[in-house]
């Protein structure tokens, strides 16, 4: 069937259910004058500007689609309890081996520098609080026990891995209320499950909301092995020029201060904690000094016994 309708300098040609509008510069306005910036302008109080509905498709038949070089949607909303939906997509399928795609965006940019955006959301809210604005919102449910359900599924590949992002967030907060985050794993068993190396450039608090050191832990740390880095050892104690405190002076110091020289008093340790690396080195130094005292006492004892 071929039907041709001409109006002014534009022509509608209907062929087998397809509508073609010529010339190539033609524009259409529904409920409004055609916009010089858009091929199709729709304005009105209807719930949907464009609605695609399909049912009863046989196996392998395609679903109805909209193909466009660009789509601009504007909703001026005022008053209370208003809801504006830029794009509303509902897909229903049953059976097996079905592929349901709500929105497909293919961007190709061969220029340099190039900029391609799949979905660009810009919200401007000026009404009084409370108000919630979503740049992108996904609600996904399933009743199948073996289904894989993704609220957002991003797969990215690029030549330069340092400037290729599956997700990029700037400003605000990234919140996951109920669920787990897996990095390097699709089956996280904790709130945060990381498989692989991690790098933190800042302070991490566990049990502390405002950490003051690179790793601030309020609680117990369990480990099978801890390796500490020392700035220096204590072998200098065995040098001939090392000034070992005489036992008489050490005895007087302990009686007055109730702790060893160079060792912080118990109250200071309780209030400020200790540096494990420095304390281990200091304890080794005291052991080496004790060794020197024992050697000296053994030499004196040998002289007494020889006499």
| pLDDT tens digits, 37-83 | 777 777 766 666 666 665 555 555 555 566 655 666 665 655 556 56
DSSP state of 289: H
- This prediction's pTM: 0.53
CA–CA distance, 162 with 43 (Å, rounded to integer)? 44
Residue 23 pLDDT exceeds 70: yes
The predicted structure's pLDDT at residue 137: 72
pLDDT higher at 120 or 244:
244
Q: What is the CA radius of gyration of the chain?
A: 38
Q: Are 52 and 103 in contact (CB under 8 A)?
A: no
Residues 6+ apart with CB under 8 A from 105: 118, 119
Q: What is the mean pLDDT of residues 216-224?
A: 93
CA–CA distance, 236 with 285 (Å, rounded to integer)? 9
- Hey, which bits of the chain come out as E strands? 2-7, 10-15, 18-22, 28-30, 40-42, 181-183, 192-194, 204-206, 215-217
The predicted structure's pLDDT at residue 40: 76
Report the chain's mean pLDDT, rounded to a whole number.
77
pLDDT higher at 187 or 130:
187
CA–CA distance, 169 with 117 (Å, rounded to integer)? 14
Beta bridge partners of 205: 216
CA–CA distance, 270 with 305 (Å, rounded to integer)? 46
Most confidently predicted of 29-38, 67-76, 92-101, 227-236: 227-236
Closest CA to 259 of 246, 272, 269, 274: 269
Percent of the chain predicted with pLDDT > 70: 59
Q: Are 245 and 260 in contact (CB under 8 A)?
A: no
Q: Domain coordinates of the chain in residue numbers?
A: 1-49, 175-219, 235-306
The predicted structure's pLDDT at residue 228: 82
Residue 190's CB is within 10 A of a number of other CB atoms, namely 9
User: DSSP of 215-281, one letter per residue?
Assistant: EEESS----S------S--SGGGGSTT--PPPHHHHHHHHHHHSS-TTSPPHHHHHHH---HHHHHH
Q: Which residue has the tokens 């997700």?
A: 167
Residue 236 pLDDT exceeds 90: yes
Q: Are 243 and 237 in contact (CB under 8 A)?
A: no
Q: What is the mean pLDDT of residues 120-133?
A: 65
CA angle, 15 as apex, 9 and 18 as ends, to 5°? Answer: 85
Q: What is the mean pLDDT of residues 226-252?
A: 90
The predicted structure's pLDDT at residue 19: 72
The predicted structure's pLDDT at residue 42: 74
Percent of the chain predicted with pLDDT > 90: 32
CA–CA distance, 264 with 250 (Å, rounded to integer)? 15
Q: Which of 24-33, 90-99, 166-175, 226-235 has the weakest average pLDDT?
A: 90-99
Most confidently predicted of 96-105, 161-170, 235-244: 235-244
């Amino acid at each position: 069937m071929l039907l041709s309708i001409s109006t002014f300098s534009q022509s509608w040609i209907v062929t087998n259910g397809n509508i073609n509008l010529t010339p190539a510069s033609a524009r259409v306005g529904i409920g409004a004058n055609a916009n010089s910036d858009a091929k199709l302008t729709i304005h009105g109080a209807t719930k949907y500007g464009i609605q695609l509905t399909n049912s009863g498709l046989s196996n392998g038949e395609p679903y109805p689609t909209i193909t466009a070089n660009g789509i601009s949607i504007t909703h001026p909303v005022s008053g209370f309890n208003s809801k504006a939906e830029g794009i509303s997509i509902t897909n229903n399928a049953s059976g097996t081996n079905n592929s349901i795609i709500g929105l497909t965006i293919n961007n190709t940019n061969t220029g340099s520098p190039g900029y391609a955006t799949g979905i660009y959301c810009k919200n401007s809210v000026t009404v009084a609080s409370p108000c919630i604005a979503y740049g992108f919102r996904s609600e996904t449910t399933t009743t199948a026990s073996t289904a894989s359900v993704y609220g957002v599924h991003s797969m990215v590949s690029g030549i330069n891995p340092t400037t290729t992002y599956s997700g990029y967030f700037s400003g605000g907060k990234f919140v996951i209320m109920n669920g787990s985050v897996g990095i390097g794993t699709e089956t996280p068993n904790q709130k945060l499950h990381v498989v692989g190396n991690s790098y933190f450039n800042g302070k991490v608090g566990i049990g502390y909301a405002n950490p003051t050191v690179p790793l601030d832990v309020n609680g117990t740390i369990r480990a099978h092995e801890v390796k500490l880095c020392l700035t220096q050892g204590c072998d200098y104690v065995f040098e001939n020029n090392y000034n070992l405190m005489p036992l008489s002076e050490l005895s007087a110091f302990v009686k007055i201060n109730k702790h060893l020289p160079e060792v912080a008093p118990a109250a200071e340790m309780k209030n400020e904690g200790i540096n494990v690396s420095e304390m281990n080195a200091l304890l080794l130094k005291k052991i080496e000094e004790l060794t020197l005292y024992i050697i000296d006492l053994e030499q004196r004892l040998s002289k007494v016994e020889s006499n």
